[in-house]
Chain A
């Protein structure tokens, strides 16, 4: 009898709703006062009980306001989304309380008590993060050990790249083709020349001095550029009817996919020079670029193969019946369709490539994460690991999240088109 009375139903809404709301509000008031005002309302109770009181009150309150078909829109929505059962109510409270508890120290560390002004470690007097560290080292984190006076070259190489890509989007279809050819086959050489110098009146900058975030972009851009065509060729090779080519492709793909990138980089750094005639020297950055490109090309090949396999056989037969040869069939009929099918997969591979670039630290090249490692071991800036890695993580997260969102949108757009 008592149990049925305690069950919240619509006809008792006038009792239950205010009562439940009071419980819930009290729970949140207690936790908020505890976190932000440092006041313990329930301090007179034993410690454990006082700690658990918001949870208990919130739970009871949520139970009382769980009235089905109450007719109040907000309440129904609330019940449906965060309060559909006892278990859900408990989890909701737990998550909300953890967020409230975590947000205040996090904000303090990140912003409120952090230090933004100054130029040495001693200027960091607050309890929060020392963003002065990032400010002072910002130049190094972006450009590595690239000489300060020459950094305009890095900037102009990237500005040129972005300008070209931007223009390529807007020019008419006819010229677009030439633009893309220029971008793919001419620009890389201009970019390299601009960065390394040595002629045209530019001072030579050795690749060991390249670094920071710009190196991440350079490596990603080159690897993306080259791994894509190689991957397509490998995928075609794997599906070739010629056994020698098929087996070589399979062997090549499985070899790279079977080993971690770090061993491939080691191979490029210490084993590869042994395979070259004595005295020949290939720049370390080039070796690393080749290694990353081949490694990612193997993954790309598997993605493209998925697209090739997904195409119906009729497409191949139709192309052949028109009298097309192998290359014409693939370039004009098969690949355009297959690649469109696997755009999400391609985007994921490129994302993985960007996330893999910090690994080049194993061969002594320092992009963003590597420069943080260098900066935090500087005797004047010891103990700055947290700031450094949080900053680097944030930068990488923004890049990768933007890429993944873009690929998701692309996927949605393409799936509606079909």
Chain B
């Protein structure tokens, strides 16, 4: 009895010592760094704090989704950068998903040429560093575009030039009502699907849900146009002469070349990884599953929709979310081509002006960190929900 107790004590002590040492070492390193930081900041006459966020920024940002000029605060500048990061990430994720799914499916094609083309697309774009691809699009490819006066003209609607891509501006009247109608449409589609599921499970009736959903999605916003006074018109970009040799486009919306280059490079690079995920997912569904589905009389579309896709998605989605996260983090490479994202606006320009390295780098890293952590929490939840429930 005594011996056993001693043994436990021993193990406890054995476990305690390395842990205590590690924690102690960590604390002393942090303490050492903190003291040095305090002394260094004291020497430079600045004190730790986030008060600078409300100071006037006095620099301009070339591209912003919300109003910004030099008279706004550093906090607002951070927000502009964050929104720009989110903008390019969303565009990139959207394009990468479409391209990735197409390439992934193409790699599985029975057509030798298509499969090979898709394979080489993946091999080429996956093995060139992303930053080089961004440089290539920005410094080489987009710089070869014509000046505004000889723009590449898409039916007088939009113009592609060296200064950016000019697209029509959407002019909405009663935009909020349109939004409500969209929300209403989605809610009714949700209830329709629930109803259809109930009908199917209880009475064995199969409703044409896809057609009905599409109908609702089109008809309710259309009604808002016809009855509730929503209207949409376009302001087309027009060529305008600034001086003897300098032209620009007016009235439209200008998409800056930095954004185009970044979105292109990010989506083409990430699409290769998504394509591999899609391929692995579809290949991961056993042949027996398809055969079993066919043998109970499902047609090709039903097999794909009801049997293959749910199982393939379970394999595809977790690594693909990871790729979305990577894309968002990679969008920080914007700093290399002066697209005003969070890193460029905040961790570079604002840092240079204020000299508050510790605060600014911490805020930037924490923003990315919270983004990653929230997505991984969502992923864990999703995996748990989608996991095969074995009894």
Report which A residues bind B (CB closer than 8 A).
Answer: 80-82, 84, 88, 91-92, 95-96, 241-245, 248, 254-255, 257-260, 262-263, 266-267, 270-271, 273-278, 351, 354-359, 361-362, 369, 372-373, 376, 385-386, 388-390, 392-393, 396-397, 400-401, 404
Pick 26 A–B contacts, CB within 8 A, sort by A: A81-B113, A82-B111, A82-B113, A88-B109, A91-B114, A95-B117, A242-B18, A244-B19, A245-B22, A254-B369, A259-B329, A260-B329, A260-B332, A263-B361, A266-B348, A270-B361, A278-B39, A355-B130, A356-B129, A362-B336, A369-B132, A385-B139, A389-B132, A390-B140, A393-B132, A400-B129
Chain A residues lying within 8 Å of B127, measured Cβ to Cβ, are: 351, 355, 396-397, 400-401, 404
Interface residue B223 (Cβ < 8 Å from any Cβ of A): no
B332 touching A263 by the CB < 8 A rule? Answer: yes
Chain A residues lying within 8 Å of B23, measured Cβ to Cβ, are: 244, 248
Contacts A255-B369, A267-B365 given: A262-B129 contact, CB under 8 Å?
no
Question: Which residues, 112 to 128 on B, are CB-close (under 8 Å) to A?
Answer: 112-114, 117, 123-124, 126-128
A271 touching B129 by the CB < 8 A rule? Answer: no
Chain B: which residue is nearest A401 at the CB level?
A: B127
Chain B residues lying within 8 Å of A245, measured Cβ to Cβ, are: 18-19, 22
Shortest Cβ distance from residue A109 to the other chain B in the assembled complex, whole angstroms: 11
A267 touching B336 by the CB < 8 A rule? Answer: no
Interface residue B246 (Cβ < 8 Å from any Cβ of A): no
A84 touching B19 by the CB < 8 A rule? Answer: no
Chain B residues lying within 8 Å of A392, measured Cβ to Cβ, are: 132
A259 touching B132 by the CB < 8 A rule? Answer: no
Interface residue B66 (Cβ < 8 Å from any Cβ of A): no
B139 touching A396 by the CB < 8 A rule? Answer: no
Bound CA span A355–B130, Å: 8
Bound CA span A263–B329, Å: 10
A358 touching B132 by the CB < 8 A rule? Answer: yes
Contacts A358-B129, A401-B123 given: A390-B111 contact, CB under 8 Å?
no
Bound CA span A259–B358, Å: 16
Bound CA span A273–B365, Å: 17
Bound CA span A245–B372, Å: 23
Shortest Cβ distance from residue B272 to the other chain A in the assembled complex, whole angstroms: 11
Query: Which of these, A258, A270, A273, A373, contacts B368 with CB under 8 Å?
Result: A258
Interface residue B188 (Cβ < 8 Å from any Cβ of A): no
Shortest Cβ distance from residue B69 to the other chain A in the assembled complex, whole angstroms: 26
Chain B 16-59: CB-based contact to A (< 8 A → 1; otherwise 0): 00111011001000000100110111010000000000000000
Chain B residues lying within 8 Å of A276, measured Cβ to Cβ, are: 36
Question: Which residues, 128 to 154 on B, are CB-close (under 8 Å) to A?
Answer: 128-133, 135-136, 139-141, 143-144
Query: Which of these, B26, B109, B124, B332, contacts A262 with CB under 8 Å?
Result: B332
Interface residue B351 (Cβ < 8 Å from any Cβ of A): yes
Query: Which of these, B39, B129, B358, B371, contacts A396 with CB under 8 Å?
Result: B129
A81 touching B124 by the CB < 8 A rule? Answer: no
Shortest Cβ distance from residue A230 to the other chain B in the assembled complex, whole angstroms: 15
B128 touching A266 by the CB < 8 A rule? Answer: no
Chain A residues lying within 8 Å of B128, measured Cβ to Cβ, are: 355, 393, 396-397, 400
Bound CA span A18–B33, Å: 82
Report the number of A-B residue pairs with Cβ-Cβ less than 8 Å. 165
Contacts A257-B372, A271-B361 given: A386-B114 contact, CB under 8 Å?
no
Shortest Cβ distance from residue B283 to the other chain A in the assembled complex, whole angstroms: 15
Shortest Cβ distance from residue A106 to the other chain B in the assembled complex, whole angstroms: 13
List 7 additional contacts besides A255-B369, A274-B37, A389-B136; criterion CB under 8 Å: A91-B113, A243-B19, A244-B22, A258-B371, A263-B361, A275-B37, A351-B127
Bound CA span A197–B214, Å: 72
Interface residue B207 (Cβ < 8 Å from any Cβ of A): no
Shortest Cβ distance from residue A278 to the other chain B in the assembled complex, whole angstroms: 6
Bound CA span A243–B358, Å: 29
B139 touching A376 by the CB < 8 A rule? Answer: yes
Query: Which of these, A91, A248, A386, A404, contacts B22 with CB under 8 Å?
Result: A248
Bound CA span A362–B347, Å: 11
B110 touching A274 by the CB < 8 A rule? Answer: no
B364 touching A258 by the CB < 8 A rule? Answer: no
Chain B residues lying within 8 Å of A354, measured Cβ to Cβ, are: 129
Chain B residues lying within 8 Å of A82, measured Cβ to Cβ, are: 111-113
Interface residue B64 (Cβ < 8 Å from any Cβ of A): no
A274 touching B41 by the CB < 8 A rule? Answer: yes
Contacts A255-B369, A359-B333, A397-B127 given: A96-B113 contact, CB under 8 Å?
yes
Chain A residues lying within 8 Å of B333, measured Cβ to Cβ, are: 260, 262, 359
A373 touching B112 by the CB < 8 A rule? Answer: no
B26 touching A248 by the CB < 8 A rule? Answer: yes
Query: Which of these, A96, A260, A274, A386, contacts B343 with CB under 8 Å?
Result: A260
A390 touching B136 by the CB < 8 A rule? Answer: yes
Bound CA span A257–B39, Å: 30
Query: Which of these, A84, A267, A357, A358, contacts B110 with CB under 8 Å?
Result: A84
Chain B residues lying within 8 Å of A255, measured Cβ to Cβ, are: 369
Query: Which of these, B43, B135, B347, B365, contacts A389 with CB under 8 Å?
Result: B135
B347 touching A263 by the CB < 8 A rule? Answer: yes
User: Which 8 interchain pairs have the tightest Cβ spacing?
Assistant: A258-B372, A244-B19, A400-B127, A386-B140, A385-B139, A275-B33, A260-B329, A258-B369
